[in-house]
Structure 1
């Protein structure tokens, strides 16, 4: 099985990939427009993403370039802090960090946002990537509408375990990438995508 070729999505070169798509169909154009506007609101409220995936414990927090939580639509250069499982009093090493490298709103029927594993914000010239995947990996989030549907998709490309870290974290990242870490797992993007487009 090959990665889909989607405009704006990086080419798959090495490592693993996923094409996660969820579609909700509607009867008429007016309803689609209303539902797409709701989906856009959800898409840009990153701090609430965890609410839409009922069976997934992942928590998403939008942060600015200094790592402080913010409550506004994302911009390029912001970060998303991700907690993969329910942990009481989580420490900095319990989070995964990605940087928003691209937001494309030029197409009225589609919005794209691309993220890449990153260092802890505010420490750009020191430290290591704080994510279970390497900095070469990308996740591209896309919402779109058509003549009878709305859609959310997440495309992962060039996904490899992050080994640019200490030995313990490197081994942990390998297990998480394989989905075998007890008490922690890969993000279930399908659950998130399904929840985002479920607007009934």
Structure 2
């Protein structure tokens, strides 16, 4: 079903769902005025781009996120296109990822429409940039994407996560990784990752000093 872009700004930033499962986590907050929403949205955008703080923003101990450059070296700055995110989820990590799951930031899009603003970050499972192996170092295949969005429509600010084409990654050269990815991937498939993303989008909109 085609999404009306005017009614849902940023919808075109989310890849189409074709295979596997999808997930959507959405939170909204209404400010007293458009001016307040504009100011708050600036804060929310910075929170989204500050990936090293995602675990703190979410207020959970489910996963930790570390921003790296395109070569896999950790950096302390806002995210840019081509960066990677190193993810430490509970339990054993991948051999390919040396204990971590890896995604690459595929695109960061900002868009301004009539009375609306959007910032979107789309990531895709990737190989570990710290070695030359091509195996996807993530529990999902590289067909999967996660798009993190913050939006302002009038005096309403929202934060969203849209997972698309999520399938367990069982095609690596490492049997232990394949087994691990089945368990973690099916956990995500039945919704065990939803609380984490729900906590993140809620944290992005936290009204705090």
Tell me which interval the TM-score lies in, with the shorter structure as reference length. Answer: 0.7 to 0.9
Count of residue pairs the alignment pairs up: 191
Report the secondary structure of 1:67's partner residue: coil
Matching residue of 1:128: 135
Change (3 A) 1:177 1:92: closer
- CA gap of 1:178–1:3, structure 2 versus 1, over 3 A, is farther
Give the structure 2 partner of residue 159 of structure 1: 166
Instruction: Please give the alpha-carbon distance, in whole angstroms, between the structure 2 residues aligned to 1:126 and 1:95.
Output: 15
Equivalent positions of 1:35-184 (< 5 A) are 35-85=40-90, 92-107=97-112, 109-123=117-131, 126-165=133-172, 166-179=174-187
| Cα distance in 2, alignment partners of residues 191 and 3 from structure 1 | 28
Gaps in structure 2 of 5+ consecutive residues: 5-10
Divergent runs of 4+, >2 A: 2-6, 91-94
Contact 2:68 2:74 (8 Å CA) reproduced: yes
The RMSD of aligned alpha carbons is 2.3
Secondary structure of 1:178's counterpart equals: helix
Ranges in structure 1 where 5+ consecutive residues have no aligned partner: none
Q: CA deviation at 1:122?
A: 4.2
SS of the equivalent of 1:72 reads coil
Q: CA deviation at 1:3?
A: 11
Q: TM-score, normalised by structure 2?
A: 0.83
In the alignment, is the contact (CA less than 8 A) between 2:97 and 2:127 conserved in 1? no
TM-score by length of 1: 0.87
Q: Does 1:19 align with 2:27?
A: no
Contact 2:120 2:147 in 1 (8 A): yes
SS of match in other structure, 1:136: coil
